[in-house]
Structure 1
Amino acid sequence: MRKLIVLSLLSTACASLPPAAPHAFVPPPSPGTPLQVCWVDTGGLTAPGGYGAGGSTIADTWEVTSAALVIRHPKGDLVLDTGISPHAQEEKRELGAWKRFIFSQTAGRNVPRRNLKDALTALGVTRPKALLLSHVHADHAGGVASLPDVPVWLAAEEKQLIEAELEHPHGVALPAHARALKGRMVPIPFEAEPYANYEARFDVFGDGTVVVVPTFGHTPGSVATFVNMSPTQRFVHVGDLINLRESIERNVGKSWLMRQFTDEDLARTQAEVAKLVQLHARDPELLILPAHDRRAFVELFGADDGEVPPCIGVSPTTPSAK
């Protein structure tokens, strides 16, 4: 594996991204609804920095979180990604030999931390309005089975991927997770209306606080989610388009190794990363939050060192599951 890390570094030493195509920028409206967001760190690990981003990384190590975000809004509680399953090592046994190897080098290396269902109880969340998946990889969809009666929102393309996996498993999603998603998937109703530098959007609550955009490539239906808590506190959860936030400043993608292991469409994923670089240039105050960059989560939420997961923002007084 050490040789693979060296190969990854050599392959991406000068791998700067080509610029994204010029695109008009639509500034986000100011949110006017109280919002609280909490970080549930379901698992993680420490890896060499060279795993996380292309070229010579600033970070010596990549501190990984496999996280769920609990977004508390007056219209209901939304869970963005569900982290790694506490039963992941048992669930991987249904995979073929090659996919088991890939899993063991990626999501399967997570050491369990918080249980999602227990974390929701600690936060006082009884039944979320929905689960929203950035994509269906095991370290994002691992908690779906623990909340069996909650609808799961995901892009139509991701729904089609799961339906195909149920018919003919290829290991893009763990079979146990695909079965847990069956009959619960609700396609995200994207509207052809520009948002930031994207062509389509889905305004979850209709008030500009949580807006989902398509970023297809890492998986056929992977998405990014803008969370606008106030004019000065805004972030975009970008799933696995990048692994370390420094990729945006350095204009590089993920390491060669992680691209080969995890991206379904390499070229399209790199084009989406270039759009993130473009977005950062147009909106530098927006925090770009990679799904597995634990340091970025700690910077935003504070350290996770208590019984209740760390939160930011103002909790709505009367959250509803409607």
Structure 2
Amino acid sequence: MKKLLIGVAIVLVVCVAALAQTFRGATLPVTQDVAITLVVPPQVKGVQVSAIYAGQMESLAAFAYRGGSFGDTRIFGMGSILVSHPQGNLLFDTGFGKDVDLHVAKMPLLMRMTTKYKREETVAAQLAQAGVPLTDISRIVLTHAHWDHVSGIPDLAGVQIMTSQEEAQFIESDDPMAALIHGFPDLAIAPLNYREGPYLGFPNSFDVFGDGSVVMVPAPGHTPGSTITFVHTEDNKHYALVGDLVWQKEGIELPAERPWVSRWLVDKDPAAVRGEIVHMHRLQQMWPELVIVPAHDRRVWDTLPRFPAGFVRPAHAEPATAEAAPAASTP
């Protein structure tokens, strides 16, 4: 019995040591296997970006990227990035909705146990307070369909949702990570097709308004249909909305992936995520003016204009039709 206990203790020590190793700082090798050609971005009058805060969680930097400290508590913000364009306004993700308590209760047990969240005013409430009717929002664009990005959808009833074909299939599946949005009734989802050619080293793209100011590219890995969107404003600012490719900006700057336990919890294809992190790191080195915006890094969001600053009432023309079929139309 004594030998058995000693053996078990040794195994536990080895396992703990191996787990601890996955939190140690380790930068990703930066390869040059994908060619990146920079673009000359447009300056389209009326294109603006603003941030709408809608909830937060606390986490440790150690869980966000390899090399982060266990003594460094970070605010993981939730919310929407509002992209205003004369042809229509886009809300990227929704943050926490009014029923966030119910939404958290539906999460897998391990996720509930590790989630410490705080409410903030919902996106829908802030739009209403600013006198912005939902008819002035053309689309909710999902970077991906995890619960903390979709909780506010029921509060924005009637606004069409745009996401990739692959993410639409993820939403329709029985995957527990898409369970919340899967259970929402009467979703109006317009899956997009990346019908344009290469863009900034990504193999294909979708030009939302047809003028180069808002361009989406596929970035599968965190979820099957995650996206990155590049936004070029009228005042010559340039943003990359990378969703949860990384949780904090150090992920791109170093570059570094999430530690193993975080990857195991949330990433569908960690290898794809690693490749895209390196891609964005290289792009940042080539284009220092590009502001990379992780969905949860409140430090980066604090540098953005806050809604309602920059809001432009649309002319009620529509973004490009998301679906590929020539006869398809969207309200």
TM-score by length of 2: 0.83
Residue 259 of structure 2, aligned match among 255, 262, 273: 255
Q: How do 1:1-322 residues align onto structure 2 when only pairs under 5 Å count? A: 10-20=21-31, 21-57=33-69, 60-95=72-107, 99-105=108-114, 108-126=115-133, 127=135, 128-165=137-174, 170-175=175-180, 177-180=181-184, 183-230=187-234, 232-301=236-305, 309=307, 311=309, 313=310, 315-316=311-312, 318-320=314-316, 322=318
Q: Which amino acid aligns with 1:163?
A: E
Q: What is the rounded CA distance, in whole Å, between the counterparts of 1:104 and 1:35 in structure 2? A: 41
Query: 1:236-281: per-residue Cα shift (whole Å, max 9, x none)?
Result: 0100010111222211112333212111111111111111112112
1:186–1:249 distance in 2 versus 1, CA, 3 Å: same
Contact 2:130 2:308 in 1 (8 A): no
Q: What is the rounded CA distance, in whole Å, between the counterparts of 1:223 and 1:59 in structure 2? A: 32
Q: Which amino acid aligns with 1:249?
A: E
> Helix, strand or coil: the match of 1:91?
helix
Contact 2:34 2:201 in 1 (8 A): no
Q: What is the rounded CA distance, in whole Å, between the counterparts of 1:216 and 1:181 in structure 2? A: 26
Contact 2:222 2:267 in 1 (8 A): yes
Contact 1:10 1:55 in 2 (8 A): no
Stretch moving more, 201-210 or 12-21: 12-21
- For residue 5 of structure 1, report the CA deviation from its aligned partner: 11
Q: What is the rounded CA distance, in whole Å, between the counterparts of 2:156 and 2:16 in structure 1? A: 37
Q: What is the rounded CA distance, in whole Å, between the counterparts of 2:109 and 2:253 in structure 1? A: 34
1:244–1:321 distance in 2 versus 1, CA, 3 Å: same
TM-score by length of 1: 0.85
Q: What is the rounded CA distance, in whole Å, between the counterparts of 1:56 and 1:23 in structure 2? A: 30
1:36–1:178 distance in 2 versus 1, CA, 3 Å: same
Contact 1:31 1:229 in 2 (8 A): yes
RMSD, matched Cα: 2.5
The alignment of Structure 1 onto Structure 2 pairs a total of residues equal to: 301
Instruction: Give the gaps of 5 or more residues in structure 1.
Output: 303-308
Contact 1:8 1:54 in 2 (8 A): no
> Helix, strand or coil: the match of 1:43?
strand
